[in-house]
Structure formats: structure tokens, C-alpha cells
Amino acid sequence: MKAPYGLDICENCQACTVREQRLICNLPDRALAEFNAAKFATVYPKGAVLFVEGQQPMGVFVVCSGRVKLYGTSADGKTYVLQIAEPGDVLGLSAVVSGRACEANAETLEPSHITMLKRADFLRLLATHAEMSFRTSQLLALTCHRAHRQASAIGLAQSAREKLARFLLDSCERAGETTDAGIRVRLLLTHAEIGEIIGTSRETVTRLLGQLRKEGVIAVRRSTIVVRDRDALTGNVHS
């Protein structure tokens, strides 16, 4: 089945039903049925744009598989990455609830399964099902949390090295895997993208990563980084 723009519609694929639970867990059957009846589950190719900043929010987007880049742009074309959304994350929630325009652009980094619920349908669910409303509050609270953490991470860091250290520590905490050699994490990001996340230039990211590697703090192979000396990174954050 084909949606507009040649997108494949994904009919209740396993990924979607599993991951959506983070938004709709513990819903009574009637609400769940409503959700399923109204949702659009589609699979987007790499580089697809879900929404752009300034636009009235179309609805909420649940990432079922893949990764979605959330970023803002300044007038001179610079981009600043707010978040790399992963399966289970919900996008557009704050815009839909507050009724304001979207404050960011969303673009898939990989082919991704996304289920969408139109604004009107979502608000109806909110109004009629208390659990949905409470769950939404919790998700929004988490989003606030993350946004504040990111703001203070950037605001409090005085050197680029410190920003990078914070970013690496954050990545480890989210997706790290502890091995005997250290904490291993796959960063599927280019140096340029890391630069956009931590607010510095690509060259600086390259230089700093090289520096850390020389110092033996991290080891790099392909897109996986092994943090061998975690304390050295946290030490950077302090000083």
C-alpha cells in the first residue's frame, strides 16, 4: 500500500506495535482502539522531512524504528541539532498540545517507521481519556528535562573540549555498553553532526577526538567509540 509521496504504509508491523507502548501503555482497550483506528503508520526513506519550523503542527509522530534528527536553523543557514530521536520517542508533542508552531525541523537520518496521529484526533484522545493526558504530561516533563539538561550543558561549558566530553558522557549513559575495555558506544554521526549538536565546528570535533585518542582516553574504530578513561572525561567537565 502506498501513501502520498510514494511512501510505504506499514500495516501494524511488529516494530510499531511494540515501541508505541511508551506513549500508549496501560491504556484501556477503548482508548487503544481509538488510537489504532486513527493512526497513520508509514515508513519514510532517509532524508524525509516530517515537519519544518514555523509550520502549524500536523500531529504527533511516534518513532517506531530508525532515527530522526530534530534541528533548528538560523537565518544564515546554520543548523543546530536539538535531539536525535530514537525508537520510542514522540515528536511534535509540545507543539500539538500548546497549539503553537513547531519550533524545529524533523528529518529522518535512516529509513524509519513512523506512526502519526493527527492533531485533532490526538486532542480528542487527550480530552476523553485521563490516562492519555497523564502520560502526555509525563512525556512532556521528560522533554523539558532533556531540554534543560542540554541548555545547561552548553551554557555551562566554557571550552569545546568540555562540551565534547559532556556529549560523550551523555551518549555513554544513553546507549553505552560496558565492556572490560571500557564503555563502548556506537555513534552513527559524522563529525559535522556532532559539531552541530555541541555547537562547535567540524574541525574542532576532529581535532579534539584526535587529541583524546592520543591521550588514550578513548579508542575509535569505525563509528564505535570506546571510552577507556571515563574519569578523564568527567575531569574535563569540572575544570
Partner DNA sequence: CGGTCACCGTGACAACGGTCACAGCGCTCG
Partner DNA sequence: CGAGCGCTGTGACCGTTGTCACGGTGACCG
The binding site for DNA (CB under 7 A) comprises: 158-161, 190-192, 199-204, 206-207, 209-210, 220
Output DSSP code: residue 25. T
- In the list a second copy, DNA, none, the entry touching 72 (Cβ below 5 to 8 angstroms by class) is a second copy
Residue 136 to residues 9, 26, 53, Cα–Cα distance (Å)? 26, 13, 22
Least separation in angstroms between residue 175's CB and a second copy is: 19
Residue 233 to residues 42, 198, 212, Cα–Cα distance (Å)? 40, 15, 9
CA angle 184, 189, 192 (to 5 degrees): 130
- In the list a second copy, DNA, none, the entry touching 206 (Cβ below 5 to 8 angstroms by class) is DNA
Rounded CA separation 213/207 (Å): 10
Output DSSP code: residue 222. T
CA pseudo-torsion sign 198, 199, 203, 207: negative
- In the list a second copy, DNA, none, the entry touching 56 (Cβ below 5 to 8 angstroms by class) is none
Task: Select from 42-50, 58-66, 125-133, 221-229 the region that touches a second copy (CB under 8 A).
Answer: 125-133
From residue 161 to residue 200, the character string flagging contacts with a second copy as x (rule: CB under 8 A) and all else as - is --------------------------------------x-
In 86-217, the DSSP E strands lie at: 90-91, 105-108, 112-118, 177-179, 182-186
- In the list DNA, a second copy, none, the entry touching 239 (Cβ below 5 to 8 angstroms by class) is a second copy
Least separation in angstroms between residue 162's CB and DNA is: 7
Radius of gyration of the chain measured on its C-alpha atoms: 19
- Please identify which residue in 154, 175, 192, 219 interacts with a second copy, judged by CB under 8 A: 154
Rounded CA separation 94/108 (Å): 19
Question: Which stretches of the chain bind a second copy, using CB under 8 A?
Answer: 72-76, 78, 80, 82, 93-95, 97-98, 100, 103-104, 126-127, 130, 133-134, 136-138, 140-145, 147-152, 154-158, 199, 237-239
